[in-house]
Structure 1
Amino acid sequence: MWVWLAPSLLMLCGMAAWGALRYPYLPGRVPSHVGPGGVDAWTDKTLLAAFVPVLVYAGLTAALAGSAALSARITPLDELARPQGRWPAVANSLTNRPASATSARRTARALLMMNALYGVALVPLCWVQWRTAETAAIPGWVLPATLALLVLGLVPLGDAWRRDAAEKKALKAA
């Protein structure tokens, strides 16, 4: 399953290398906020300020990889004891268990795919962050492309949820 983490790690390494190559050529101030009208806040050039997109993605990768690991390890509903053939009482608890081990692995893969797509979504923002000219203007495609990629990242997770819900329904009926 961890092969699904490779695209995120490659993206993270690529972003870090790209930023390291661009850092010496950055102006004295770098963007600290990008809004619909372009860059609307600036900060002095420091390693921390210049590498915000990389640091955000590193944190997101760690959080989602951890979530994927936990998702893959949870005991699924079909492995819980079913007293007298009934739906387990634990199924109605606060823990949203996957229907099966297959569903748990599918959810873990979906989280890792979502993370990789979120890395791709950060690429346009890295481009804005690492421009050598201190200009507030950004092309009109940057924010819509970023938002579209963030929404696209939810698709694998939504599909995993839909398939798990169908498996739960079949389990409950059995």
Structure 2
Amino acid sequence: MGEGDENRPGFPWVWLLPQLAVLAGLTVWGAAVYPSLPERVPQHIGPGGIDAWADKSVGAVFLPVLIYAGTIAVMAATSAAALRMRTEDELAPGERASSLVNRPATRASALRTARATLLLGFCIGLSIAVTCAVMWRTEPDPQVSAWLFAAVLAPLLLGLVPVLAAAVRDRRESRESRESRESRK
């Protein structure tokens, strides 16, 4: 166990549960509608509606679910990395850290960042669910409503709010921490 490990917050598993619930829901929903889907399924939805089709297969139908599973893995790994990283206030006086790493200012900031990242992952899942509502329709040529773009974009924008708020708060804490260390010199 490294120095400062006892002060590290644990992984916020509760914040991962909504993503896992959406993943499970998408999997069950996809399995339930799969037998009744037409032989051609929408593969891409562009500004003018459905612009690419694929033959019905498990891979084509469950591609959004697989993409979301990968998204969950990336978001969980990113959150875990933020929690394991040495924060700015843990660096020794005068120790320089790589400018390639945007490290959190404090442990509290790392936890906020991890939670915000997991919340963004949940919102991505909601956006994918909206697209599945079109892709998994049982009629052979589903129509795309004008609201689809807004319905896909809204959860993403909502998920970005806490990420941006955590980043702004972290930058403020970082500046205050740096000023405090400099005033003690």
TM range (shorter): over 0.9
**Aligned partner of residue 31 in structure 1, secondary structure:** strand
Mapped partners of 2:15, 2:170: distance in 1: 19
Q: Deviations over 1:50-85 (max 9, x none)?
A: 0111111111011111111111110101111114xx
| Contact 1:5-1:65 at 8 Å conserved across structures | yes
**Aligned partner of residue 40 in structure 1, secondary structure:** strand
Partner of 1:140: 146
| Contact 1:40-1:136 at 8 Å conserved across structures | no
| Contact 1:33-1:39 at 8 Å conserved across structures | yes
The runs of at least 4 consecutive aligned structure 1 residues that moved more than 3 Å come to none
Residue correspondence of structure 1 range 19-168 to structure 2 within 5 A: 19-83=30-94, 88-90=95-97, 93-168=99-174
How many residues get paired? 169
Aligned residues: CA RMSD? 1.1
State the shift of 1:27 in Å. Answer: 0.2
One-letter amino acid of the structure 1 residue matched with residue 96 of structure 2: A
Mapped partners of 1:38, 1:136: distance in 2: 9
TM-score, with length taken from structure 1: 0.93
User: Structure 2 residue aligned with 1:14, among 13, 25, 39?
Assistant: 25
Q: Deviations over 1:137-168 (max 9, x none)?
A: 21111111101222222111101101101100
Mapped partners of 2:133, 2:83: distance in 1: 35
State the shift of 1:2 in Å. Answer: 1.2
| Contact 1:33-1:40 at 8 Å conserved across structures | yes
One-letter amino acid of the structure 1 residue matched with residue 25 of structure 2: G
Mapped partners of 2:172, 2:81: distance in 1: 22
Q: Deviations over 1:74-132 (max 9, x none)?
A: 0101111114xxxx422x62211110011111101110000001111111101111100
One-letter amino acid of the structure 2 residue matched with residue 107 of structure 1: T
**Aligned partner of residue 42 in structure 2, secondary structure:** strand
TM-score, with length taken from structure 2: 0.88
One-letter amino acid of the structure 2 residue matched with residue 4 of structure 1: W
State the shift of 1:136 in Å. Answer: 4.7
State the shift of 1:37 in Å. Answer: 1.4
Mapped partners of 2:30, 2:120: distance in 1: 23
State the shift of 1:40 in Å. Answer: 1.2
* Identical columns (%): 46
| Contact 2:134-2:142 at 8 Å conserved across structures | no
